[in-house]
Amino acid sequence: MAKSKYEYVKSFELADHLLPHTWIVVRIDGRSFHRFSKDHQFKRPNDEQALRLMNECAKAVMEDISDIVFAYGVSDEYSFVFRKTSSLYERRSSKLMSILASLFASTYVMKWSQFFPDKKLQYAPCFDGRAVCYPTEAILLDYLAWRQVDCHINNQYNTCLWMLVEAGKSSEDAQKILKGTQADYKNELLYTQFGINYSTLPEIFRKGSSLFRRKEEEIVKFKDGLPIKRIRSKVVVEHCDIISQQFWEEHAYIIS
Amino acid sequence: MAKSKYEYVKSFELADHLLPHTWIVVRIDGRSFHRFSKDHQFKRPNDEQALRLMNECAKAVMEDISDIVFAYGVSDEYSFVFRKTSSLYERRSSKLMSILASLFASTYVMKWSQFFPDKKLQYAPCFDGRAVCYPTEAILLDYLAWRQVDCHINNQYNTCLWMLVEAGKSSEDAQKILKGTQADYKNELLYTQFGINYSTLPEIFRKGSSLFRRKEEEIVKFKDGLPIKRIRSKVVVEHCDIISQQFWEEHAYIIS
Amino acid sequence: MAKSKYEYVKSFELADHLLPHTWIVVRIDGRSFHRFSKDHQFKRPNDEQALRLMNECAKAVMEDISDIVFAYGVSDEYSFVFRKTSSLYERRSSKLMSILASLFASTYVMKWSQFFPDKKLQYAPCFDGRAVCYPTEAILLDYLAWRQVDCHINNQYNTCLWMLVEAGKSSEDAQKILKGTQADYKNELLYTQFGINYSTLPEIFRKGSSLFRRKEEEIVKFKDGLPIKRIRSKVVVEHCDIISQQFWEEHAYIIS
Amino acid sequence: MAKSKYEYVKSFELADHLLPHTWIVVRIDGRSFHRFSKDHQFKRPNDEQALRLMNECAKAVMEDISDIVFAYGVSDEYSFVFRKTSSLYERRSSKLMSILASLFASTYVMKWSQFFPDKKLQYAPCFDGRAVCYPTEAILLDYLAWRQVDCHINNQYNTCLWMLVEAGKSSEDAQKILKGTQADYKNELLYTQFGINYSTLPEIFRKGSSLFRRKEEEIVKFKDGLPIKRIRSKVVVEHCDIISQQFWEEHAYIIS
């Protein structure tokens, strides 16, 4: 039973290293989460607890993998940005994407009861992953802007849809009313029919969630009654505008 | 806020379809499971409950994804074989490997307490994944043989190592004793020093676990007191020799 | 001027090895050969000398690269089949396809005057290349059949088209007449209008060209007036049916 | 003989698009040019006519393919830089590299007699190709610097080697003398033993050849005895330092 006789099968494993010196983005996406949301009675159009659970998982991923410098989440998807010069797992695409999809999903189960203490998790959630390289900062920021624009468009649409449904329309009728309408029309509809000022809705719904590290001064112990402080880098969650340049100018250290 | 302005970033997502008409094997592997095993006091050299948990996760994956026709597990790794003509997710490598790694990990957390009712899962487990294509049945079987040979070699080595350690040797001394020795020597050592006949150790340790579907007749209901039977395809777990041709001849339907 | 300072740029060269144990087909295709054919007054619908030049180039490629076991040419394209176990250039896709496209094109210029002694080659011809893997013999033969079917369909169409044009139709009118017609109709048209029995046209036009090696006994020298013979493997050019199994049964050594 | 029956084989052609918005460099390299140089009695350590033929071929390639903005050649290799936003052949790696390797080789044959009117080209030359993406201008310039440093190091070494050989040393002895020596030592050796000031050797040998476009005013015709001028973009060949920033500052338009 010679080991070597079969070892040749390893040669079928082809290399999949990602281009060096580019921004690797791994995006994970809930598999069949439309059904998952229904099966777990997530609130419509947004379930804040479900979103906070997603954020908590993303935070755990970032705390585990220090090469991730930024993450952005909306709905059942999350994008993780690796620093440009990362050589984690030799930049092997399969390793990076599978580990993130795997760690995110198992953390989701681990933390479920913290966010849904009264709801049983009925089956194992699953996320797919993909890895994409962006060659410049400008294009990376366009990628993130793309996701935040998507967040905005989907949230505005879904908010209108569910208000109409709650007001008694069938789902089909509500969709017909909204079909092809512009942002202004939807804002107007929310305001005049339902008294909702869209811009005052919670930012977590309208802006999605951005995770990044912030240096914070922290008391680590007391010595002779005096606090000993240390600068610590902490992953924070914010719901801010990442489309405008302002955020990136104020947090230039994130992608520099 | 034009959506189209940022949509161009999608063009950076490159295709990763796997060669058609080949056997796709997705192998997942526990990330840092050496530490994970220690942190959860897994028995050495083998923890049967930990292996049965792995098998249960693999079974859940196979029941979810019908294009998987065979799975083989050993230690903290599992190989899933897709049928040659599968077009699941258009054979996109990233989808297949990330979904399997993700589903396996989340199921592992879900089912932990069934196998370790008295042990707390301390942190989220994680599995990496990779996808490899094998062009012919013969090479696919060589791949599976490769994994089973590995199972055998590692198990024999680890069994010797831990018997020596339990007998009072340091881990370093035990390693020195075993270094470069042949299979015969190790079997002899187990027998003469510890009274262990290697070939009588549990098959799950020596052979790993093979999962495949078997058609079984099942009583689905009773009508007028008579059983109504139906043929059902069930995923079964066996610990058999998959290196010899015999298994594949007797189960030709699996990869035909 | 340290060499090492810049050497890191080599890390951007990503691996492109083709799956082992599959049939590599490199297909080259004339770039802008529609214009090239016009500029060099190639005969329509087929220029036998141009085809023979293509064949001569393919033969030179096969004689240079012994891992190529079969080649099939039609019009301005040629497919080269590498033996399944070839490890030429470590099966690097870029090497294989670029070398074949390059060698074919330079040979085309070298041999031009042999086939067109009275015609000046006006500019450098160019061929693009691509490499594709086929996992089984059956699929490889389907690939070759695909190319020969294409040869037949195009040749039948072009023969009709040019007969109509020669008979005074405009190119547009001729195309209209042929649009959507079946093989039978075209054969009938050739026979009734132009007295041409399609099946008697030269095989090089109807079947394309197949190149492979054949062992032949050869007199290498004379000793004491007696011939000393040796078995030599020679690349031969034939215009045979490679769609039916018969050819492959009679020449089983080619792909076995 | 249904066409569709075989068309499925096209699905085995996998995509190979290069990452958008990166600098594509296609480098071609003479296949077995060590032997080719000997067989055609190229002068050692440099054959100026052979280098000028290479440059002429590169120029023809650049004039044919307008998306190439810069080319750098040394010895039997040439690097072609495509503009960052090129979408030629949809950035398909196989198309770009095979076409350049093919066009270069056929042009080499076409132009041979212009540079070697008294020498017969004995067999078809061949170049391999590869395509690499560089994400930023800075890295692209490091790539070009890498090639020019190579040019310098090889030329200095070869110049020493051939002077020693001409002076009567065996090739092996000459190699021993040079092994492990620094640039200073080699310059000193050339000066003291052979009276050669390395920095006065022809720049084409020491710096390689750089090709790029330059806008030039050109008289296109005369009208009423007065010259009518037009700005034309012409490919020029220079032997300049492309490692220092100065060249790129003075020719900022090339890669901007």
Q: Which residues contact B161 (CB under 8 A, 6 or more apart)?
A: B45, B171, B174, B175, B178
Work out the mean pLDDT of chain D and round it to a whole number. Answer: 95
Mean pLDDT of all residues in A20-29: 98
pLDDT the model gives residue C220: 86
Q: Are C157 and C186 in contact (CB under 8 A)?
A: yes
Which residues does chain D have within 8 Å of residue A136's beta carbon, measured at their own beta carbons? Answer: 21, 135-136
Sheet of C127-134, strands arranged across: C127-134, C23-30, C77-82, C68-74, C209-223, C226-238
Structure-model confidence comparison of residues D232 and A95, the more confident one: A95
pLDDT the model gives residue B2: 45
A236 within some domain: no
C36 within some domain: yes
pLDDT in tens, C244-254: 999 999 999 99
Write the burial class of residue D203 (CB in 10 Å: 0-12 exposed, 13-18 middle, 19+ buried). Answer: middle
Mean pLDDT of all residues in C212-235: 91
Question: A109 vs B106: CB contact, 8 Å cut-off?
Answer: yes
Instruction: Check CB contact of C236 with chain B, cutoff 8 Å.
Output: no
Mean pLDDT of all residues in D7-18: 95
Residue A170: what residue type?
S
Which residues does chain C have within 8 Å of residue B19's beta carbon, measured at their own beta carbons? Answer: 19, 22, 133, 135
Mean pLDDT of all residues in D160-169: 95
Question: C126 vs D146: CB contact, 8 Å cut-off?
Answer: no
Mean pLDDT of all residues in B88-114: 98
Work out the mean pLDDT of chain C and round it to a whole number. Answer: 95
Question: B15 vs D11: CB contact, 8 Å cut-off?
Answer: no
Mean pLDDT of all residues in B133-147: 97
pLDDT at D238 over 90: yes
Which of the other chains make 3 or more beta carbon contacts under 8 angstroms with chain B? A, C, D
pLDDT the model gives residue B97: 98
Instruction: Check CB contact of B142 with chain C, cutoff 8 Å.
Output: no
Structure tokens at A159: 């908010």
Which of the other chains make 3 or more beta carbon contacts under 8 angstroms with chain D? A, B, C
Which 8-state DSSP code applies to residue B168?
A: T
pLDDT at D193 over 60: yes
C37 within some domain: yes
Minimum distance, in Å, between the CA of residue D136 and any CA atom of chain A:
7
Question: C133 vs B21: CB contact, 8 Å cut-off?
Answer: no
pLDDT at A7 over 80: yes
Structure-model confidence comparison of residues C26 and C183, the more confident one: C26
Question: C136 vs B135: CB contact, 8 Å cut-off?
Answer: yes
Minimum distance, in Å, between the CA of residue C154 and any CA atom of chain A:
38
CA A52 to chain centre: 10
Question: B131 vs A95: CB contact, 8 Å cut-off?
Answer: no
Closest CA to D154 of D46, D1, D247: D46
pLDDT in tens, D82-122: 999 999 999 999 999 999 999 999 999 999 999 999 999 99
Instruction: Check CB contact of C17 with chain A, cutoff 8 Å.
Output: yes
Q: What are phi and psi of B127, to 5 degrees?
A: -125, 140
pLDDT the model gives residue A68: 98
pLDDT the model gives residue C256: 84
Minimum distance, in Å, between the CA of residue A239 and any CA atom of chain B:
18
pLDDT the model gives residue A2: 46
Mean pLDDT of all residues in A59-72: 98
Question: D21 vs A133: CB contact, 8 Å cut-off?
Answer: no
Where does the pLDDT of residue B78 fall: very low under 50, low under 70, confident under 90, or very high at 90 and above?
very high
Question: C15 vs A14: CB contact, 8 Å cut-off?
Answer: yes
Minimum distance, in Å, between the CA of residue D62 and any CA atom of chain A:
26
pLDDT the model gives residue B60: 98
Q: What angle do CA C58, C64, C68 make, to 5 degrees?
A: 65
pLDDT in tens, C119-148: 999 999 999 999 999 999 999 999 999 999
Q: What is the ipTM of this complex?
A: 0.94
Which residues does chain A have within 8 Å of residue D22's beta carbon, measured at their own beta carbons? Answer: 19, 22, 135
Mean pLDDT of all residues in D178-194: 94
CA distances from D203 to B214, C168, D59 (A): 76, 62, 18
Name the residue among D12, D15, D19 with its Cβ closest to that of B12.
D19
Mean pLDDT of all residues in C97-114: 98
pLDDT at B135 over 70: yes
Instruction: Check CB contact of C102 with chain D, cutoff 8 Å.
Output: yes
Name the residue among B14, B15, B20 with its Cβ closest to that of D12.
B20
Structure tokens at B119: 């042990």
pLDDT at B47 over 50: yes
Instruction: Check CB contact of D135 with chain A, cutoff 8 Å.
Output: yes
B109 within some domain: yes
- Burial code (b: 16+ CB inside 10 Å, e: under 16) for A129-158 equals bbbbbbbbeebbbbbbbbbbbbbbeebbbb
Residue D62 belongs to domain with CATH number:
3.30.70.3000
Which residues does chain D have within 8 Å of residue C243's beta carbon, measured at their own beta carbons? Answer: 1
Q: Containing domain of residue B45, as a range?
A: 16-151+202-207
- Residue A23, SS3 per DSSP: strand
pLDDT at A48 over 70: yes
Reported for B1-8, long-range contacts at CB under 8 A and 24+ positions apart, including other chains, are B1/A149, B1/A152, B1/A183, B1/A243, B3/A149, B3/A150, B3/A153, B6/A142, B6/A143, B6/A145, B6/A146, B6/A149, B7/A146, B8/A142
Closest CA to A103 of B127, C138, B19, C214: B127
pLDDT the model gives residue C113: 98
pLDDT the model gives residue D1: 39
- Residue B121, SS3 per DSSP: coil
Question: A105 vs B108: CB contact, 8 Å cut-off?
Answer: no
Structure tokens at A78: 């999350």
C33 within some domain: yes
Where does the pLDDT of residue B3 fall: very low under 50, low under 70, confident under 90, or very high at 90 and above?
low
Structure tokens at B33: 């499971």
State the residue for tokens 């585990």: A64
Q: What angle do CA D195, D197, D202 make, to 5 degrees?
A: 120
A27 within some domain: yes
D218 beta partners:
D230
Write the burial class of residue D2 (CB in 10 Å: 0-12 exposed, 13-18 middle, 19+ buried). Answer: exposed
Q: What is the C-alpha R_g of chain D?
A: 22
Q: What is the C-alpha R_g of chain C?
A: 22
Q: What is the DSSP string of C46-105?
A: --HHHHHHHHHHHHHHHHH-TTEEEEEEETTEEEEEE-TT--GGGGBHHHHHHHHHHHHH
Instruction: Check CB contact of B19 with chain D, cutoff 8 Å.
Output: yes
Q: Scanning every residue of chain A, which has its alpha carbon at the shortest distance from the alpha carbon of C15?
A: A15
Which 8-state DSSP code applies to residue A214?
A: E
pLDDT in tens, C166-200: 999 999 999 999 999 999 999 999 999 999 999 99
Mean pLDDT of all residues in C79-106: 98
Q: What is the DSSP string of A24-77?
A: EEEEEEETTHHHHHHHTT--SS--HHHHHHHHHHHHHHHHH-TTEEEEEEETTE
Structure tokens at B229: 């039977």
Which residues does chain D have within 8 Å of residue C107's beta carbon, measured at their own beta carbons? Answer: 124
Which of the other chains make 3 or more beta carbon contacts under 8 angstroms with chain A? B, C, D
Structure tokens at D81: 């830089």
- Cα A154 to Cα A145: distance, rounded to the nearest angstrom: 14
State the residue for tokens 């999962």: B211
Where does the pLDDT of residue D220 fall: very low under 50, low under 70, confident under 90, or very high at 90 and above?
confident
The number of residues making up chain D comes to 256
Work out the mean pLDDT of chain A and round it to a whole number. Answer: 95
Where does the pLDDT of residue D153 fall: very low under 50, low under 70, confident under 90, or very high at 90 and above?
very high
Structure tokens at C100: 């074949």
Question: D99 vs C6: CB contact, 8 Å cut-off?
Answer: no
Where does the pLDDT of residue A1 fall: very low under 50, low under 70, confident under 90, or very high at 90 and above?
very low
pLDDT at D218 over 80: yes
A93 within some domain: yes
Please count the structural domains in chain D: 1
pLDDT the model gives residue A253: 95
pLDDT at D2 over 50: no
Where does the pLDDT of residue A3 fall: very low under 50, low under 70, confident under 90, or very high at 90 and above?
low
Instruction: Compute the count of residue pairs across chains B and D with CB atoms less than 8 Å apart.
Output: 17
Instruction: Compute the count of residue pairs across chains C and D with CB atoms less than 8 Å apart.
Output: 162
pLDDT the model gives residue D59: 98
pLDDT at C89 over 80: yes
- Cα C2 to Cα D92: distance, rounded to the nearest angstrom: 34
Q: What is the C-alpha R_g of chain B?
A: 22
Q: What is the DSSP string of B187-210?
A: HHHHHHHH---GGGS-HHHHH-EE
Which residues does chain B have within 8 Å of residue C139's beta carbon, measured at their own beta carbons? Answer: 21
Mean pLDDT of all residues in A124-142: 97
Name the residue among C124, C128, C183 with its Cβ closest to that of D98.
C128
Which residues does chain C have within 8 Å of residue B133's beta carbon, measured at their own beta carbons? Answer: 19, 135
